[in-house]
Amino acid sequence: MTSALFSPIKLADLALDNRIVVSPMCQYSADDGSATDWHLGHLAMLANSGASLLVVEATHVERRGRITHGCLGLYSDDNEAALARVVAHCRRVGTAKLGIQLAHAGRKASSQRPWEGGLGLKREDDPWETIAPSAIAFGNEWSAPRAMARDDMERVRDAFVASAKRALRLGFDAIELHMAHGYLLHSFMSPISNHRTDEYGGAAGARLRFPLEVARAVRAVLPRSLPLGARITGSDWTEGGLTPDDAVALAKTLKEAGLDYVCVSSGGITADVMRGGTGLDGRQRVQRIPLGPGYQVPFAEKVRREAGIATRAVGLIATAQQAEAIVAEGKADMIALARAMLDDPRWGWHAAQALAGEVKRPPQYARAAPKLWPGAAYRA
C-alpha cells in the first residue's frame, strides 16, 4: 500500500514531494533581525530532514515587531542580505523547498528569549514600545502596548508587503502569514485582546478586517503561482475567546482572498496559561489546553472539511504512523513538525523507512538509504 504521507501535493504551482513540513521555529539567534551562522547550520540541517517544505521561523516585518532582541526580521537591506546567504546555502546543500513565515509580534514583542525567562523585557534589557489593537498587556509581566491608530495599521500592512517583496526577491517557494499564537494579527481577531470600538473591533467580521487587509495586500504583490498560506488559531482555549467555528470562518475568508493553505495551531492569546488568574481586564481567566498527541488535529480536520482549503495539522505529532494516519484519514493535507524535527533532524528519512516511502537525500549521503544496506558493497 502506498503511503499517504509520502504522496505529492501541489500548493498553487509549487509541487511538493510529500506531506511533511518543518514547522517554523524561532531561534532567537539573529543580530538586529539578520540571520547568523546559527541559521546557516540549523536550516541546512533541516533542509535535509526529508520534509518537502522547510518553513523559516517567524520573520518580523518591523524592528519593533520582533518578539525578542534575537528574532529574525526582513525589514532592512542587511536582513535581506543575511538571509540571502542562508537561502543560497540551503539551496546548495539541501533538498527541501523553502518557505518563510512573516510575522509581527504586537503586544508580545519586547520579550526575553525563552532561556532568559520569556517574560517582558525589564527596564535594563533595552525594552521598546509595543503596539496592538488595544492597550491591554499580554500579562502582568509585560508592559501595556499602545493602541494602534489608523496610520500604524497602514505602516504595518505596508511592512508586511515590503517584507513579502523581499521574500520574493530571495526566491522563497512559499510565504506564510503568522495569524496565531497571540501575535499582532491574531490579537486583532481575538475578543480577548481586541477591545476596539472603531470599525476594526466589535463583531467578528470587524475584528478580522485588519488581518484581511494585510492578507489581501500581500497576495496582491505575489504571483499567483507562489503559494501564500497562514497559520491560524483553532481555539483560544479560554472563555470568550476564538473557537473552532471562528477558525472555519477565517479559513473561508482567507481562501476567498486567494490564500492557498492554512496551518491550524492554537493558544497563546494570554499569558495566563494553565493557571487561574485575574486578567488585566479584571476577569478570571485561564487557558485550559488539554495537551496530548495530535491535540490540535480535530481543529485542522474541521477547517479542512468545512472551509475546503488545503490544511496543515501541527502539534504533538511525533511518530510516522501518527502522521500517516492523519493524512490517510483525511484529517489534514499536510503535517508540520517542530520539536520532533529538532530531536531527529532526519525524521523524514526515518518515516520513509517506516512507511516504505521515498525521500530525497543529497548524493553525499545516498549510501545512508536503508534499501542499500543488505549486502551492499561498501566502497570508499
Ligand X SMILES: Cc1cc2nc3c(=O)[nH]c(=O)nc-3n(C[C@H](O)[C@H](O)[C@H](O)COP(=O)(O)O)c2cc1C
Sign, CA torsion 235/23/82/219: negative
Q: Is 315 in the site for ligand X (CB under 6 A)?
A: yes
**Stretch of 21-29, 167-175, 188-196, 271-279 contacting ligand X, by CB under 6 A:** 21-29
**What sign for the dihedral angle of Cα 181, 183, 187, 193?**
positive
Active site residue 378: no
Q: Which three cell numbers stand for residue 340?
A: 520532533
Instruction: Give the contacts of 197 (CB within 8 A, at least 6 positions apart).
Output: none
Q: Total binding residues for ligand X by CB under 6 A?
A: 19
Question: Is the CB of 100 or the CB of 280 nearer to ligand X?
Answer: 100
Contact pattern for ligand X over residues 82 through 121, marking x by CB under 6 A = -------------------x--------------------
Question: In the complex with ligand X, which residue's Cβ is closer, 201 or 345?
Answer: 345
Interacting positions 291-310 with ligand X (CB under 6 A): none
Distance between CA atoms of residues 149 and 143, nearest Å: 18
What 8-state DSSP symbol labels residue 238? S
Q: Does 265 bind ligand X (CB under 6 A)?
A: yes
Integer Cα distance of 299 and 284 in angstroms: 26
Choosing from 12, 17, 18, 24, the residue that interacts with ligand X (CB under 6 A) is 24
Identify which of residues 42 and 97 has a Cβ nearer to ligand X in the complex: 42
Asked if 148 and 198 count as a contact pair (C-beta separation under 8 A), the reply is: no
**DSSP label at 378?**
-
Nearer to ligand X, 318 or 369 (CB): 318
Q: How far is the CB of 191 from ligand X (least distance, A)?
A: 21
Asked if 45 touches ligand X (CB under 6 A), the answer is no
Residue in 369, 349, 269 with CA at minimum distance from that of residue 50 = 349
Rg for the chain (alpha carbons), in Å?
Answer: 20
The distance of closest approach from Cβ of residue 176 to ligand X in the complex, given in angstroms and rounded to an integer, is 8
- Could you say whether residue 231 binds ligand X (CB under 6 A)? yes
229 belongs to the binding site for ligand X (CB under 6 A):
no
Tell the smallest beta-carbon distance from residue 274 to ligand X (Å).
Answer: 16
Closest to ligand X by CB, 24 or 348? 24
Among 17, 57, 80, 246, binds ligand X (CB under 6 A): 57
Residue 340 contacts ligand X per CB under 6 A: yes
Q: How far is the CB of 72 from ligand X (least distance, A)?
A: 8
Give the nearer residue to ligand X in terms of CB position, either 42 or 200.
Answer: 42
User: With binding defined as CB under 6 A, does residue 178 bind ligand X?
Assistant: yes
- Give 280 or 300: the residue with its C-beta nearer to ligand X: 300
DSSP secondary structure letters along 312-343: EEESS--SHHHHHHHHHTTS-SEEEESHHHHH
Q: Catalytic residue among 28, 183, 200, 261, which? A: 183
10, 150, 169, 339: which one binds ligand X (CB under 6 A): 339
Q: Minimum distance between the CB of residue 297 and ligand X, rounded to whole angstroms?
A: 11
SS3 148: coil
Q: Using CA atoms, how far apart are residues 334 and 168, in angstroms rounded to an integer?
A: 23
Q: Is 23 in the site for ligand X (CB under 6 A)?
A: yes
What's the closest the beta carbon of residue 231 comes to ligand X, in angstroms? 5
The span from the CA of 133 to the CA of 207, in Å, is: 9
- CB atoms under 10 Å from CB of 35, counted, come to 28
For 247-308, the DSSP string reads: HHHHHHHHHHTT--EEEEE---SSS-BSS--B-TTS-B--B-----TTTTHHHHHHHHHHH-
Q: Catalytic residue numbers?
A: 183
- Where do contacts with ligand X occur on this chain (CB under 6 A)? 23-26, 57-58, 101, 178, 181, 231, 265, 314-317, 337-340
